Amino acid sequence: MLIGIDLGTSNCAVSIWQDGQSLLVPNVYGKNLTPSVVGIDDDGHMLVGAPAHARLFTHPELTLASFKRFMGTDHSFRLGNQHFRAEELSALLLRSLKADVEQHCGCKCDRAIITVPAYFNDVQRNAVRAAGELAGLHVERLLNEPTAASLAYGLANQQEHKFLVFDLGGGTFDVSIIDMFEGVIEVRASSGDVFLGGDDFTRSLASWMLNQYPRLDKENTALFGQLLTLSEKAKCQLTTEESTTLQYQWQGETLSWNLTTDILLQCCESTLERMKKPVMQALRDARFSADEMDHIVLVGGATRMPLVRQAVARLFGRFPRGELQPDEAIAIGAGIQAGLVLQDQALDDIVLTDVMPFTLGIATSRRKGEGYEDGHFLPLIERNSFVPVSRVETIMTVFDQQKHLDICVYQGESRLVSDNVLLGMLRVDVPPLPAGEASADVRFTYTLDGILEVECKINRTGLSEKLVIEKAPGSLTPEQITESLRKLDAIKQHPREQLVNRQLVAEANAYYEQSLGEQRQYIADHLYHFERILDTQDARQIAAARKEIEELIAYLRREWE
Ligand code: ADP
Ligand code: MG
């Protein structure tokens, strides 16, 4: 069977072509979206999707998310005592999606169409193919995400059209300008912001919540993690409601917040403001005006927020298209492409080339209190820039009598260089002067052949040093694939039928932690009973007990939300 997969940074979704339409396939937990999160639990078993996502803030050292940003790089992620590449983590996700479809449809599926961002280059596209292969899926085709969205909206059938796809996901923002002509669909320009997404709204809201109680410890990461979980929930509620109330028990105290859409808007104004620039950039690159766009298509979970929709409407002076569930549209498009492939009439889309797929920059220090904090990433060439490109940035010494400047070159999209990939280093002598008085111009030049030239020129002395980086693309060799397969196959996983039960226990546990007194005892009793029945391994008893615990959770959800 052939399936269509949206392998997202925050969430994945799968569609199949059935009875002439593209249908989403729910996962083992009955949800259309599977969080793109992988982790290990306390007894060393691998967790994929929802159960891993639930531990993202509580067990950050045992949980990995947003690894799609590293596809096609040699970045290594540590999980417990093992190391993984982004391809391998993606393969674990794909394996889980594959198993979900096979269980749901009762047949084997071994072929896939996977969507990728329009700006992904060859290395990144090959990495996605490798991930598919590691998951036991032959990747029939890769499809550009904005093209998939256009297919879902039926726009690809029209004769001549230009439209803009506005994709605001969890942590990334992509704007694509699409041009349709004579049955060919072309991504004319792509722009975006890799540090912008729905998660920024969640973080702003969590900070606001923290600030409402001045005596709370602002540096407590465990507390902030809990607030993030709460504010994510509240943010989604404010999509359909004007206001909501939240409560949380912290160190014997009940914290509560009344949240309204006005408060959310207040918290998020600057984030909304940041959406403008990439839109303008994409239009400029494509040499189109906003008025020339026949449609504006909304994609990505964060475009559910009314305030995002309003901001888009204001930006274009008209209402965008958003009839489909925005976080499902790309998977639906992938399912349509699967249908077209099966009928041998697949749509061809033209890939954007000659854009820089990653952000390149250097490590810098940032002022923190009296001193400086190292390890911050200063982007020089942003992802999506047209190649060849050359950019310069001036940097300064931070200490008195500093003897040299160390230029550490990184590739990646994270704010901290420790999460990016180190490409090389360059050391240049500076004249010893008071801090801030010796400066240098750092120039990055990236050529069409993928060669990065870094030049650092000291302004006082005119002295300059050069470093040339020829990045050998981080593709997996056949030997590495075999090795990875062995590694992935050896990973301990919970039997699938136990997954749902474990998830229910985790969910009930979360309510236990939030509750107090009688309600707490009530949940504890249910959990104790359920866990005892699970120990019996008697399928019929387990099924009955599962129903009870599901009812309890449904009741608690109503109570708390
Ligand atoms: P990605 O494309 O990055 O994988 P998605 O398109 O799934 O991500 O979008 C995920 C983002 O959408 C998250 O930040 C999530 O909070 C947000 N989101 C999902 N549903 C809602 C909702 N009902 N209201 C507001 N934000 C939402
Ligand atoms: Mg997406």
Predicted local confidence at residue 353, as pLDDT:
59
Residue 484 has pLDDT above 80, yes or no: yes
Read off the pLDDT band of 352 (50, 70, 90): low
Q: How far is CA 19 from CA 23, 152, 155, 336, in A?
A: 9, 16, 21, 12
Predicted local confidence at residue 459, as pLDDT:
92
Given the CA of residue 240, which atom of ligand 1 is nearest to it?
A: 23
Domain boundary among 355, 372, 391: 355
Quote the ligand 1 centre to 201 CA distance (angstroms).
10
Given the CA of residue 239, which atom of ligand 1 is nearest to it?
A: 24
* 107-122: b (≥16 Cβ within 10 Å) or e: eebebbbbbbbbbbbe
Q: Are residues 217 and 192 part of one domain?
A: no
Does residue 150 form part of some domain? yes
Domain boundary among 452, 469, 486: 469
Predicted local confidence at residue 354, as pLDDT:
67
Q: How many domains does the chain have?
A: 4
Q: Are residues 286 and 326 part of one domain?
A: yes
Average pLDDT over residues 41-51: 91
Average pLDDT over residues 515-520: 85
Read off the pLDDT band of 382 (50, 70, 90): confident
Find the CATH number of the domain harbouring 418. 2.60.34.10
Does residue 484 form part of some domain? no
Q: Are residues 157 and 77 part of one domain?
A: yes
Find the CATH number of the domain harbouring 226. 3.90.640.10
Q: Are residues 338 and 250 part of one domain?
A: no
Predicted local confidence at residue 193, as pLDDT:
86
433: exposed, middle or buried (C-beta count within 10 Å: 0-12, 13-18, 19+)? middle
Angle of CA points 234, 240, 244, to nearest 5°:
40
Average pLDDT over residues 406-420: 89
Quote the ligand 1 centre to 450 CA distance (angstroms).
34
Q: Are residues 455 and 367 part of one domain?
A: yes
Average pLDDT over residues 116-145: 92
Average pLDDT for the chain: 91
Residue 194 has pLDDT above 60, yes or no: yes
Widest pairwise Cα distance in the chain: 81
| pLDDT tens digit sequence for 52-103 | 998 898 898 999 999 999 998 888 999 988 999 999 999 999 999 999 999 9
Quote the ligand 1 centre to 373 CA distance (angstroms).
32
Find the CATH number of the domain harbouring 101. 3.30.420.40
Q: Are residues 132 and 183 part of one domain?
A: yes
Beta carbons within 8 Å of 43's beta carbon, 6+ residues apart:
none
Read off the pLDDT band of 155 (50, 70, 90): confident
Strand partners, 82: 79
Ligand 1-lining residues (CB < 6 angstroms): 8-11, 169-170, 172, 197-199, 202, 232, 235-236, 239, 300-302, 304-305, 327
Does residue 112 form part of some domain? yes
Does residue 480 form part of some domain? no
Q: Are residues 432 and 305 part of one domain?
A: no
Residue 558 has pLDDT above 90, yes or no: no
Average pLDDT over residues 397-414: 91
Residue 513 has pLDDT above 90, yes or no: no
Q: Are residues 229 and 177 part of one domain?
A: no
Predicted local confidence at residue 472, as pLDDT:
57
Does residue 478 form part of some domain? no
Tell me which residue range forms the domain holding 233: 198-271
Ligand nearest to the Cα of 334, by number: 2
Average pLDDT over residues 332-354: 83
Say which residue, 370 or 316, is predicted with more confidence. 316
Q: Are residues 61 and 116 part of one domain?
A: yes
